[in-house]
């Protein structure tokens, strides 16, 4: 066996979510040997009940037949254009009709006119994160990313791949990142010799923090980013998994300032996770070497063509089908909004969120001095906090939660960037991320299983603290 010398490579840390996934089969077996049912409060996956593809496949086929019919082909052996393009090389931006349909619907929802030529298809939002990081890492100069403490584990994993990149993180309160700290971290990074191109965040249904930024805090962060001349990279997987009414919804950063924002859309939560449809959108301009000013999109397209030259046109056409409904007089018509698609998902997630919050209040609400949890306006998670400092939510704690109580939850400490843990060695060690989005059952069984899971978690916590309800 030959070993290849690669001294420049470094071993990357394994995230706590992957550790939990790897250890779960063994932990599950130990729990089941004790007669315990496993309760899932850890997985952040879209629920199988809202991602059943059978109805979609029927709808998609009808839409494709509609496209073929509109071409008016006389030759029975002729290949319809949509079908030929779906399985051929295509432009890096993918089929134009998909981008135009997306731009109209997304723009209608957020009251902004979007340019389809600035939409770069990505492999989900994760592909967008990789694309943006690669753009700014390519020159090889030291680069600093500003992000939240805590932040999305996928962003931390991607940023750690670059040896000349460093994360400067910003603590949050219940409205969002602290503005003074935000500005001071940008300036500290620059004083340390780093270029600071961007701030990465998930402002709606923050993963993992379990809340959404207030409108006033968004405006303050936007003003600070503009003054400091950095981009806001807005990861928006949960922008439609939103539990507030239309009048109460906060505006995404890109709808407030597209010239200051790189917006990452994914179809994984609003559509289907498997096809990995996503888009990067920005109207930002970059001042580059030689004093030249260029569109960020130009760099994004070049980077995308190097990373994945040809996007999956079949998946993009399938996404286009989702954005159409059968017309009243035959054929298909554009929906003109994503909220129609969202409502089918929200009916399930709203219900599960309510079960989670009511269960926590029922089981632990009598002890606010000991426990607290977020009330998410969007997304899949609530963050549960042990307030009195008597519990350390490390890996041993979460393993014990599975083996002795059958409850799967994710500890928060691993979502904190390294610099945040340098500032506070206990950051996240008093919290758990509880997910209410996933179960292995549907309908009434789903409701029962989540109710049982929350009740089991509350019972475990009460037993740990030796608390009894009157």
**DSSP, residue by residue, 129-189:** HHHHHHHHHTT-S-EEEEEEES--HHHHHHHTT-TTEEEEEEEEETTEE-HHHHHHHHHHH
Q: CB of 155 within 8 A of CB of 200?
A: yes
Of residues 76 and 285, more confidently modeled: 285
- Two tokens, residue 360: 């926590």
What confidence score (pLDDT) does residue 77 get?
74
Of 365, 467, 342, 453, give the one whose Cα is nearest residue 405. Answer: 453
Rounded Cα gap, residues 383 and 150, in angstroms: 11
Percent of the chain with pLDDT over 70: 92
Q: Are strands 285-287 and 293-295 parallel, antiparallel or unpaired?
A: antiparallel
CA–centroid distance for 316 within its chain: 19
Rounded Cα gap, residues 400 and 393, in angstroms: 10
Say yes or no to pLDDT of 16 above 70.
Answer: no
What confidence score (pLDDT) does residue 31 get?
63
- Two tokens, residue 140: 């090889």
Taking residues 56-76, report their average pLDDT: 85
Rounded Cα gap, residues 55 and 1, in angstroms: 51
Of 265, 257, 248, 191, give the one whose Cα is nearest residue 227. Answer: 257
Four-CA torsion 131, 132, 136, 138, nearest 10 degrees: 0
Domain ranges of the chain: 16-50+340-464, 82-322
Say yes or no to pLDDT of 430 above 90.
Answer: yes
In the block, tokens 């922008």 appear at 239
Choose the CATH number for 82-322 among 3.40.640.10, 3.40.190.10, 3.30.1360.120, 3.50.50.60: 3.40.640.10
Say which CATH class 16-50+340-464 falls into: alpha beta
**DSSP, residue by residue, 420-468:** HHHH-TTTTTTEEEEE-S--S--HHHHHHHHHHHHHHHHHHHHHHTT--
Say yes or no to pLDDT of 149 above 90.
Answer: yes
What confidence score (pLDDT) does residue 24 get?
57
- Two tokens, residue 429: 């060690």
**Which tens digit of pLDDT belongs to each residue from 288-336?**
888 889 999 999 999 888 877 777 889 999 999 999 999 877 789 999 9
15 phi/psi in degrees, rounded to 5? -70, 155
**Which tens digit of pLDDT belongs to each residue from 185-218?**
999 999 999 999 999 999 999 999 999 999 999 9
What confidence score (pLDDT) does residue 194 get?
97
Q: CB of 412 within 8 A of CB of 395?
A: no
Percent of the chain with pLDDT over 90: 72
What confidence score (pLDDT) does residue 112 get?
96
Q: Which residues contact 10 (CB under 8 A, 6 or more apart)?
A: 163
What confidence score (pLDDT) does residue 470 get?
58
Q: How many CB atoms lie within 10 A of CB 363?
A: 21
**Which tens digit of pLDDT belongs to each residue from 370-426?**
999 999 999 999 999 999 888 999 999 998 998 899 999 999 999 999 999 999 999
Q: Which residues contact 247 (CB under 8 A, 6 or more apart)?
A: none
Phi-psi region of 18 (alpha: psi -120 to 50; beta: other; left: phi over 0): alpha
Angle of the 179-191 helix axis to the 215-228 helix axis, nearest 10 = 20
Taking residues 238-247, report their average pLDDT: 92
Q: Is 145 helix (H, G, I), strand (E, B) or coil?
A: strand
Say yes or no to pLDDT of 33 above 80.
Answer: no
């Amino acid at each position: 066996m030959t070993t290849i010398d690669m001294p420049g490579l470094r071993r990357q840390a394994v995230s706590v979510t992957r550790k939990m996934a790897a250890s779960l089969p063994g932990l599950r077996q130990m729990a089941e040997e004790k007669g315990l049912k496993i309760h899932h409060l850890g997985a952040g996956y879209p629920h199988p009940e809202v991602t059943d593809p059978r109805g979609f496949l029927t709808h998609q086929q009808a839409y494709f037949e509609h496209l073929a019919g509109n071409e008016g082909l006389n030759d029975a052996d002729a290949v319809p254009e949509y079908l030929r393009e779906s399985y051929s090389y295509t432009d890096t931006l993918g089929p134009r009709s998909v981008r135009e349909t997306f731009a109209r619907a997304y723009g209608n929802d957020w009251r902004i006119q979007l340019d389809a030529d600035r939409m770069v298809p990505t492999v989900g939002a994760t592909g967008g994160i990789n694309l943006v990081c690669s753009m700014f890492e390519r020159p090889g100069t030291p680069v600093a990313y500003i992000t939240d403490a805590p932040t999305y584990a996928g962003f931390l994993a991607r940023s750690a791949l670059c040896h000349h990149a460093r994360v400067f993180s910003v603590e949050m309160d219940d409205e969002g990142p602290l503005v003074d700290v935000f500005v001071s971290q940008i300036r500290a990074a620059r004083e340390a010799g780093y270029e600071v191109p961007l701030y990465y965040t998930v402002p709606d249904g923050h993963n993992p923090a379990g809340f959404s930024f207030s409108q006033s805090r968004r405006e303050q962060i936007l003003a600070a980013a503009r003054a400091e001349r950095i981009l806001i990279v807005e990861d928006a997987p949960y922008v439609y998994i939103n539990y507030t009414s239309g009048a109460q919804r906060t505006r995404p950063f890109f709808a407030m300032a597209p010239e200051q924002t790189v917006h990452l859309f994914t179809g994984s939560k609003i559509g289907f996770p498997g096809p990995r449809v996503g888009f990067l959108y920005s109207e930002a301009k970059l001042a580059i070497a030689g004093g030249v000013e260029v569109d960020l999109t130009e760099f994004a397209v070049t980077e995308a063509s190097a990373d994945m030259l040809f996007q999956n046109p079949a998946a993009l056409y399938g996404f286009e089908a989702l954005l159409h409904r059968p017309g009243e007089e035959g054929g298909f018509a554009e929906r003109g909004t994503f909220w129609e698609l969202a409502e089918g998902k929200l009916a399930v997630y709203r219900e599960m969120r309510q079960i989670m919050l009511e269960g926590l209040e029922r089981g632990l609400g009598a002890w606010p001095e000991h426990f607290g949890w977020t009330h998410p306006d969007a997304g899949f998670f609530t963050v549960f906090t042990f307030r009195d400092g008597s519990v350390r939510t490390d890996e041993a704690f979460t393993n014990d939660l599975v083996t002795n109580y059958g409850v799967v939850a994710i500890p928060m400490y691993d979502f904190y960037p390294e610099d945040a843990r340098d500032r506070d060695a206990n950051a996240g060690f008093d919290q758990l991320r509880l997910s209410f989005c996933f179960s292995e059952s549907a309908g009434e069984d789903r409701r029962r299983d989540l109710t049982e899971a929350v009740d089991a978690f509350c019972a475990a916590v009460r037993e740990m603290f030796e608390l009894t309800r009157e």
